[in-house]
Amino acid sequence: MAWRAAFLWFSLDRAAAFDFDADLKQDLTKWWGKVAFERAVQNAHHDVHLAGYTLCSPAAQHAENTLRKLLRRHQSGGACSELPVQIAQHAWRYKEEELSRCLDLAPGGSCIMACQDFPGLQAALKCDGANLTGIPPPGDCRHQFDPDIVHAPSGSLRGLLRRVPLKWPSGEETSSLVRTFWGIPYGEEPVRFQAAKAKAKWTGVRTSADFYVEQPVLCPNLPPLGRGGEVREDCLQLHVYAPQAPAPKTRPVFIFLIPGGFIGTDFFQKGWYDAARFAVRNDAIFISVGYRSGFLGHWVHEQLAEEDPDGSTGNYEALDQRLALQWVQKNIKSFGGDPGRVTLAGHSSGAFSVNFHLLSPGSRGLFAHGILEGTALDSGWYYSTKEDGLRFYATLAEQLGCSGADQIRCLRALPVDSFYNFSNVTYHEELGKIRGLGKWGLAKGLAGAAWSALGFEGSFRSKGLQLGDVPILAGPLWPVLAVGYVVDGSEAGLPAPPRQLYESGRVNPAKVYLNHGTDEGTVFALIMYAAYPWYEAPSLSHAATDEIMTWAFNASVPQLYPHGRGDSAPFYRMSRAIADSTFVCPHRRYATALSKLMPQSVFYAETTFAGDDMQDSNWLSAVIHRDLSYFVGAWHMNQVLWIFGVNDTLKVCNSTKPTNLGFDYASWRSEDELMHQLVNCNYALFAHCGSPDASSNSSCAQDVLKLHSCRSTYGLPHGALTPRPFPPFEEAEGGARFAMTPYGKPKLVSPSAEEERVCAWWDDAAPTHFITSACRGCAAQHVKDRVVGGCYLRLEEVAKLLQPRRPLTYVRAAVPSEAQFRTWDPPVQPAEPRLLRVGLIGPPNAGKSSLMNIILDNPISAVSPKVNTTRENVRGVKTIGHTQLVFLDVPGIIPSHEKLANRELVAQAWQGYQECDVCLLVIDVVKRPNSEIFDVVRKICPKEDIGEAGLRRRMRSLMEVNSEGERELPLEAYKLLPPRSLPGFTGNSLASRAQDRPPVTLVLNKVDKASEMRWVMSRDREFRTHGQFDGIFYTSALKANGIVTLLEHLKTRAKPRPWLYPAEMITTMSHTEQVKQVVNTHIFKRFNSDVPYKIEQQTVGWTPRLDGSLVIEHEVIVKDSVVARMILGVRNSVLHDLKQQVSDTLQLLWGIPVEARIWVRPLKQRLSKSDLAQLGYEPRSEPKREPRSETPGTTGGPRGPRPT
């Protein structure tokens, strides 16, 4: 990984341009704040990206000038000198003269600002004397809702209209509207590991999402290209971009399958894959598709094949794509598209999928053209046999904790994050094993690489098979690129290996456009050097390269690429071996076979252009100038740039000071833009006419050459290039490929003698197939022999040797949403439902929570001898017959001290008081009440209350006639009302005073602790003196005395109303909130000081086990190491007891076995290594040490090694 990191450093540092001027950024951030400024940058990025490279500079300059204008107005001061931030963030989108008029508003004035692109959308502003107020129009002038509804067979849709500016080669500037439909569902939520079903027709009109504001729905993915978190399995959506202008006939349709290595699923990429410009410039409809990928898109199992009606297994990614193709065939006419001219295009893994659909009988007739960019057409690394797939996923299932006959049921029960987490942990563990990444290690590696680049063999330190090494489960790119398609033998999947299918003519009829880069192997060579597990440190020597080639291919490959310098240096030997075996030679075979089967239908190109920023002539200059293109050439990912254009358009257009060192330089120049135009024009010709030949005299080609992409490429007299012939493959002399380059020459790439020699060898060799879990230097034997070096071990025996370093009994799963949020179905109502909301209030530590727990017969609320153990409102539900009692346990209504936090707790208590129908005032009979308690009593149930009717008669006599002849109550009369002013109550109105106050029932609790009954009676008399109660009850929450009588009283107060909650429900708290309450209970019980008040909590893991138990991982966050040591106790004894108590309580509460794993994390991490080890976090730089305790809390944590 060191070498890949070094090359990426070259790339990233070279593209370190800026979004806006540094001074402007600083001033706006100071004025608006960082988040608001970043939102403005996002708005500018959207507009500049939509404008394209040719118009991005004026668009970026206009945005920056407008922001400077706002800044100057703000700095000048005065009334109404600032636009509201939500408008200022996109102020350049309004008409300039109207913006200036609004900035000059006088106090009391108002104005209207219309959007430049959509004058019907306006922002209304008003100067209220000090500030400008107003709200932006919907969409922030970025779009407007399309007035024309699309009535498709699957349902009605409303899109967004967006304006795309265009600059033609003649200098003319125009704009066109494009209809955008983001987030259209094409499939129902799929059952895990099953083919999805088509989305049922919806009712009403579905409006497009706005993915520049909302988060796109993404399918589950895997690292490093995917990200965990914001994913879900109900993710089968697609985006449609269609020109709004009428067309004389239906338009061709592009369906694009994204690159992602079968692990990434983001088909929007923060707007990079926004195809609005593509659709307008090529006069076509563009569709991008989201689908399952990673392990969930490729799992292989015999049970899954039995479940599937077609006997298919393992290719759910492709089956999702097929479902999208079927949706397009059914619905695309409603968008103006031609279902007979569908072009299925993809790059990298997306192009693998295009090849899958060309070879799978189940996809026949769903598209007419296929574009394959940078793909492997028959490599065994990516198209595994069913046998290997079954072995791989069986091993993977065991690692995930699922085995035996119920393996699929277990896998389907796992949280979706479990698969990402496993891959993420494995990925980082493999990275962690790499040695030699220090200063001297890197220097030594670079020196060895330079020595080998001069032609010397060099050396490296190897290691053999090590016990405890993680199995290499998939192939030589594991764990970076871990999955691929499987030859499952079904008609719905792949009935035979790809090469066997296309060479025997079993290919779906379609015209095919093939393209690969000259240097496809460079990025994969970097991964290969980093992923090779059998050397001590990464090495770019010839010796290391020979061994890696033998491991990944076979022992003959190093001789096929002899040692040397230049193109024969170690890195380029590896790159050429990968490119030839995986890309170049398979493309030649594929084109040859298909052109014989379907003449005039195969077009083969090669991208020779590496990018215009490659200016260095030797490696030393390239290192100094950080020129990535010099090292990787026309590499794998460049082709996405040529399809969609530059991603960081805003940075490119603000790069006013290009230098070779590139600290404020973004690499995109005029030749790069011309290459982008060339690729788009070829695509347009192929989709419209079935041939990318720009020199054709056909009427179709002549019409397409008038489109913006082709006019910008070939359009005479202003175009940069002369139309070049792009003949079908069988007509190109000697198998030549069309040269994809913005330069005039070469026009064709003819195979060299070296290419012919190498491809002849690869064509005769067995299919590239990697033997999983093979020992060092032994994987080169023929796949049919199943031989591991000279050991003659079966694969299963090798796998037994390669057990994981720490057997995974479980993989930590993220906390699911159903554990974080409580939801419920509407309750089934009885014949005569009754409902009562009961609030439990009183001084701190009076036993309110204990009383609610005993009533509900469940410990849902935290209980301890400390004041303010209850830190937030807790709601419980008790259903008795037809009556439902809803209890609200609130913090103490009397502040325990004057800190702000306690005042907030008191405010929560009063809020709970307002929500109840009946109030239970819970009093500890043992403690003598103070004046504050009696003040509360006089407020909530005053003794002198004369009732509503009495108050009305008394107030009516005091009313006076005001100046308008109306009777009103003078302000002085309110002083005669009893003191009932409570937090949150409404004004002084008579209605609010009388109606907002619920009846109060006095509950004298803890009577079991009173030494004599006369003390209880004394408390009774004291409270009767100060208040008027609906009833008085004596209870003991500890011994459950008096509870039944109290409940009977509450039942009589219930009102005829529908239930709020299901009968079986006992609390509205989520499971994670219940965990916090239980932890609070035991921590508050344990400590006498203010330690409990200095902690925060969060649940970080929620892992169901196969035996039905549950593992909960919970963090207790404290302010410093002193508090942490107190909670740990001597030799972690306190923490051990806490985990046991919490586990037992949760098991009692939920009725299932629960294991609580609790860690303590101090916010101030200034701890010694021994302190960190005691807290459960092992220092990564140190070897493992035996923990002082065998409890889970001391062997790992959320920020340390994974628990075992």
- Cβ–Cβ contacts within 10 Å for residue 669, how many? 16
Residue 1202: per-residue pLDDT: 34
Q: 3-state DSSP call for residue 210?
A: coil
The model's pLDDT over 159-193, given as tens digits with 9 standing for 90+, comes to 999 999 999 888 899 999 999 999 999 999 999 99
Distance CA(1189)–CA(1199), nearest Å, equals: 18
Residue 7: per-residue pLDDT: 38
- The single-letter DSSP state of residue 583 is I
The model's pLDDT over 588-619, given as tens digits with 9 standing for 90+, comes to 999 999 999 999 999 999 999 887 655 545 55
Distance CA(1192)–CA(1199), nearest Å, equals: 14
Residue 281: per-residue pLDDT: 94
What's the rounded mean pLDDT across residues 1091-1115?
80
Cβ neighbours of residue 484 closer than 8 Å, sequence gap 6 or more: 262, 298, 352, 381, 382, 383, 384, 474
* Residue 321 contacts residue 291 (beta carbons within 8 Å): yes
Tokens 């079904």 found at: 490
For the record, the structure tokens of 959 come out as 């009313």
Choice between 1058 and 459, residue whose per-residue pLDDT is larger: 1058
Which has the minimum average pLDDT: 161-165, 236-240, 407-411, 432-436?
Answer: 432-436
Residue 719: per-residue pLDDT: 53
Which has the minimum average pLDDT: 349-363, 626-640, 651-665, 803-817?
Answer: 651-665
Q: 3-state DSSP call for residue 37?
A: helix
The model's pLDDT over 68-98, given as tens digits with 9 standing for 90+, comes to 999 998 888 878 888 889 999 999 999 999 9
Residue 18: per-residue pLDDT: 44
Query: Cis ω on the peptide bond leading into residue 891 (within 30° of 0)?
Result: no
Which of 195-204, 423-432, 778-787, 1159-1168 ranks highest by mean pLDDT? 195-204
- Cβ–Cβ contacts within 10 Å for residue 791, how many? 14
What's the rounded mean pLDDT across residues 633-637?
82
Distance CA(116)–CA(103), nearest Å, equals: 17
- Confidence at 981, pLDDT banded by 50, 70, 90: very low
Sheet with 155-158, strands from edge to edge, namely 150-152, 155-158, 205-207
For the record, the structure tokens of 1000 come out as 């109060």
Domains of the chain: 15-141 (no CATH), 157-385 (3.40.50.1820), 829-941+997-1053 (3.40.50.300), 1071-1194 (3.30.300.20)
For the record, the structure tokens of 490 come out as 């079904």
607 strand-pairing partners = 517, 740
Nearest to 1040 by CA among 852, 843, 890: 852
Residue 184: per-residue pLDDT: 96
Nearest to 198 by CA among 209, 210, 212, 184: 184
Distance CA(990)–CA(977), nearest Å, equals: 9
Q: Which secondary-structure segment (H or E) carries 12?
A: helix 2-14
Distance CA(1099)–CA(1008), nearest Å, equals: 37
Amino acid at site 215: Q
Distance CA(893)–CA(168), nearest Å, equals: 73
Percent over 70 (pLDDT), the chain: 73
Reported residue count of the chain is 1204
Residue 767: per-residue pLDDT: 55
* Residue 559 contacts residue 474 (beta carbons within 8 Å): no
Amino acid at site 537: A
Start-end of H helices in 493-569: 498-503, 521-531, 542-552, 557-560
Distance of CA 110 to the CA centre of its chain: 42
Longest Cα–Cα distance of the chain, Å, equals 114
Taking the CA atoms of the chain, what radius of gyration do you get in angstroms?
Answer: 36
Distance CA(1189)–CA(282), nearest Å, equals: 67
What's the rounded mean pLDDT across residues 955-960?
58
Nearest to 98 by CA among 121, 72, 68: 121
Residue 447: per-residue pLDDT: 56
485 strand-pairing partners = 383
* Residue 728 contacts residue 599 (beta carbons within 8 Å): yes
- Cβ–Cβ contacts within 10 Å for residue 5, how many? 12
1001: left (phi over 0), alpha (psi -120 to 50) or beta: beta
**Dihedral (CA of 195, 197, 198, 203) sign:** negative
What's the rounded mean pLDDT across residues 468-496?
73
Distance CA(682)–CA(725), nearest Å, equals: 11
The model's pLDDT over 863-911, given as tens digits with 9 standing for 90+, comes to 544 444 444 567 889 999 889 999 887 765 554 444 434 445 455 556 6
- Confidence at 1191, pLDDT banded by 50, 70, 90: very low
Residue 359: per-residue pLDDT: 96
Residue 1203: per-residue pLDDT: 33
- The single-letter DSSP state of residue 579 is I
Residue 432: per-residue pLDDT: 59
Choice between 1115 and 356, residue whose per-residue pLDDT is larger: 356
Rounded to two decimals, the pTM is: 0.66
Nearest to 316 by CA among 488, 196, 222: 196
For the record, the structure tokens of 334 come out as 């409603």
Distance CA(902)–CA(495), nearest Å, equals: 70
